[in-house]
A and B are shown apart, each in its own frame.
Chain A
């Protein structure tokens, strides 16, 4: 599974993307988020941000959305373009 981070999250975690192999019981965005927090203290801190957005294969996704091994899952702060 490919995980990508943007903006403040990318800076705090220190990488823009990483390939991960979560255990098979990780099946939703919320579970993935919790599992990713265990990767490092930086992950734990960055991924505990109050407002976080997620996307699966470049479409916005909620915490309950299903994730699978060949997905690209992105986490980022609320957007500020325009």
Chain B
């Protein structure tokens, strides 16, 4: 089984199956950590969200971010799935999962991956609201979170 699984697609995915895949090693991994991102809806007045991306560059950037994670932590497996297109509140957007030897490195690598994915992979979110469409603005908070992992340019 491949150590790295990357997917950018409109289709939904099954988080259970992804966790199963991450945990079915030969026993070297002791910890699987995952992050699952969903479309936030009603409370923010968002009726739908469309994710646009830069085909080609997206896959390249995600692969580079995953390689960066693998150079920092000993990871047996990494899975990154990011959906694109129009999604409704409650739908899954993104899945990050890592299998490592111990929990500390798995948890850290998982957080690193989603932090850098958010600030370095070329995706853009457009929200549909009762007032019309609006592009989601990049948040300084996300940049700060990503920068905690240092300022290595990607």
Interface of B, secondary structure class, is: mixed
Instruction: Give chain A residues whose Cβ lies under 8 Å from the Cβ of B22.
Output: none
Flag whether A58 is at the interface (Cβ < 8 A).
Answer: yes
Please measure, in the bound complex, the distance between the C-alpha atom of A81 and the C-alpha atom of B95, giving whole angstroms.
Answer: 12
Q: Is the CB of B125 within 8 A of A6?
A: no
Flag whether A79 is at the interface (Cβ < 8 A).
Answer: yes
Chain A: interface size category: 10 to 19
Contact partner of A79 among B120, B126, B153, CB < 8 A? B120
Flag whether B130 is at the interface (Cβ < 8 A).
Answer: no
Q: Is the CB of B153 within 8 A of A78?
A: no
Number of interface residues of B (CB under 8 A): 29
B 17-60 binary contact with A (CB < 8 Å = 1; else 0): 00000000000000000000100000000000001111011001
| Least CB distance, B14 to chain A, in whole angstroms | 20
Contact partner of A80 among B60, B82, B125, B153, CB < 8 A? B125
Instruction: Give chain B residues whose Cβ lies under 8 Å from the Cβ of A79.
Output: 118-124, 138
Flag whether B154 is at the interface (Cβ < 8 A).
Answer: yes
Q: Is the CB of B94 within 8 A of A6?
A: no
- Pairs across A and B, CB under 8 Å, 27 listed: A6-B53, A7-B124, A7-B135, A8-B135, A55-B54, A55-B57, A59-B57, A60-B153, A60-B154, A74-B54, A74-B122, A76-B122, A76-B124, A77-B124, A77-B135, A78-B137, A79-B120, A79-B124, A80-B124, A81-B51, A81-B82, A81-B94, A81-B117, A82-B94, A82-B114, A82-B117, A82-B142
| Chain B interface residues toward A at CB < 8 A | 37, 51-54, 56-57, 60, 82, 93-94, 114, 117-126, 135-138, 142, 153-154
| Chain A interface residues toward B at CB < 8 A | 4, 6-8, 10, 51, 55, 58-60, 74, 76-82
